[in-house]
A and B are shown apart, each in its own frame.
Chain A
Amino acid sequence: MKEEVFSLCFMCSVRCPIQVTTEQGQVRFIEGNPHVAGMEGSLCARGAAGKAFLNDGQRLQTPLIRTGPRGSGEWREASWDEALDYVADRLKDIMAQHGSRSLILGERTQLSTHVSKTFVKALGSPNHFTHDALCKGSVNTACRSLFGYTDAQMGMDYSNTRHLVLYGRNFFEAVEVKQVRAFMKALDKGAKLTYIDPRVTVTATKAHRYWMIRPGTDLALNYALIHVILKEGLYDKEYVERWVLGMAELEAFVEPYTPTWAEEETGIPAEEIVEFAREVSREKPSVIFHFGYRGANHTNEIHLRRSIMILNTLMGSVEAKGGFFFKKGPGEVEAKPARKLTEQSFPEIRDPRFDKVGTPDFPLPDPNHGVAQRLPRAIMDEDPYPFKALIAYRFDPLMSIADTTLTKKALEKLDLVVAIEVNYSDTAWYADVILPESTYLERTDSIQQANGLKPQMFLRRKTVEPRYDTRSGPMILKELGERLGIGEYFPYENMDDLVRWQLEPTGFTLDDFEAKGFVAYTSQQIFWDRKDGLRFKTPSGKIEFVSSLLEDAGFPSFPPYEPVPHPPEHHFRLTTGRVALHTHVSTQNNPYLNELCSENVLWIHTDPAEVLGIQDGAWVDVSSSRGSGRVQARVTELIHPEAVFMLHGFGHEAERAERCHRKGLSDAMLQENVSDEIGGSPALHHTFVTVTPAEEKMA
Chain B
Amino acid sequence: MSEYYLFQDTKKCIGCHTCVVACKSYKNLPQGPKISQIITVGPRIVGGLPKAAYTFMPCFHCENPWCVAACPTGAMQKRTPDGIVSVDPELCVGCKTCMSACPWGAPQWNPETGKVVKCDYCMDRIDQGLKPVCVTVCTTQCLNFGRANELPAVRRERYAQAMAALE
**Chain A positions near chain B (C-beta within 8 angstroms):** 28-32, 40-45, 47-49, 51-52, 172-173, 175, 177, 180-181, 184, 187-188, 190, 200, 202, 204-210, 580-581, 591-593, 595-596, 637-638
Contacts and interface: CB of A to CB of B under 8 A. Distances in A.
Contacts of A184: 12, 140-141
B17 A580 contact: yes
Contacts of B24: 592
B136 interface: yes
A28 B122 CA distance: 13
Contacts of A205: 42-43, 50-52
A-B complex: 3 closest residue pairs judged by Cβ atoms: A48-B22, A48-B21, A580-B16
B55 interface: no
Contacts of A637: 45
B21 A180 contact: no
B133 interface: yes
Nearest to B137: A43
Interface string B75-105: 0000000000000000000000000000000
Given A175-B16, A190-B161, A41 B136 contact: yes
Contacts of A190: 161-162
Contact of B14 (A32, A172, A596): A172
B12 to A, nearest CB: 5
Interface string B47-85: 001111000000000000000000000000000000000
- If over half of A's interface residues share one DSSP class (helix, strand or loop), that class is named, otherwise mixed; here it is mixed
B155 to A, nearest CB: 12
Contacts of B42: 205
22 contacts: A29-B26, A29-B133, A32-B137, A40-B141, A41-B137, A41-B138, A42-B140, A43-B18, A43-B137, A44-B18, A45-B21, A48-B137, A172-B16, A175-B139, A177-B139, A180-B14, A184-B140, A184-B141, A187-B12, A205-B42, A209-B49, A580-B18
A183 B85 CA distance: 36
Given A180-B140, A638-B43, A592 B14 contact: no
Contact of B52 (A28, A180, A202, A581): A202
Contacts of A45: 16-18, 20-21, 139
Given A41-B137, A581-B17, A200 B43 contact: yes
Contacts of B133: 29, 31
A181 B15 contact: no
B156 interface: no
B139 A42 contact: yes
Contacts of A172: 14, 16
Contacts of A173: 14, 16
Given A200-B50, A210-B49, A592 B21 contact: yes
A41 B17 CA distance: 15
Nearest to A205: B52
A427 to B, nearest CB: 27
B149 interface: no
Interface string B114-128: 000000000000000
Contacts of A30: 25
Contacts, number: 106
A181 B43 contact: no
Given A41-B137, A42-B139, A205-B42, A596 B50 contact: no
A202 B51 CA distance: 9
A41 B18 CA distance: 12
Given A44-B18, A45-B21, A202-B15, A207 B139 contact: no
Nearest to A595: B31
B52 A49 contact: no
A200 B45 CA distance: 10
B152 to A, nearest CB: 12
**Taking each of B12, B20, B139, which has the highest tally of chain A beta carbons within 10 Å of its own beta carbon?**
B139
A45 B12 CA distance: 16
A187 B142 CA distance: 13
A186 to B, nearest CB: 12
A596 B25 CA distance: 13
Contacts of B14: 172-173, 175, 180, 202, 206, 580
A2 to B, nearest CB: 10
B17 A204 contact: no
Contacts of A181: 139-141
Interface in B26-51: 26, 30-32, 42-43, 45, 49-51
Contact of A210 (B31, B50, B161): B50
A32 B24 CA distance: 17
Contact of B50 (A28, A48, A580, A638): A638
B50 A43 contact: no
Contacts of A210: 49-50
A207 B141 contact: no
A638 B45 CA distance: 9
A173 B13 CA distance: 12
A318 to B, nearest CB: 27
A42 B31 contact: no
A487 B74 CA distance: 66
Contacts of B52: 202, 205
Given A175-B16, A202-B15, A48 B140 contact: no
Nearest to A597: B17
A572 B20 CA distance: 35
B10 to A, nearest CB: 11
Contacts of B140: 42, 180-181, 184
A595 B17 CA distance: 12
Contacts of A51: 25
A31 B136 contact: yes
Nearest to B162: A190
Contacts of B141: 40, 42, 181, 184
B15 A593 contact: no
Contacts of B49: 207-210
B43 A49 contact: no
A581 to B, nearest CB: 6
A132 to B, nearest CB: 25
A636 to B, nearest CB: 9
B16 A188 contact: no
B112 to A, nearest CB: 12
A123 B136 CA distance: 47
B1 to A, nearest CB: 25
Nearest to B48: A210
Contact of B21 (A29, A31, A208, A596): A596
A44 B16 contact: yes
A47 B18 contact: yes
Contact of A42 (B21, B137, B161): B137
Contacts of B25: 29-30, 48-49, 51-52, 592
Contacts of A209: 49
A31 B138 CA distance: 9
B147 to A, nearest CB: 19
Contacts of A175: 14, 16, 139
B39 to A, nearest CB: 12
Contacts of A177: 139
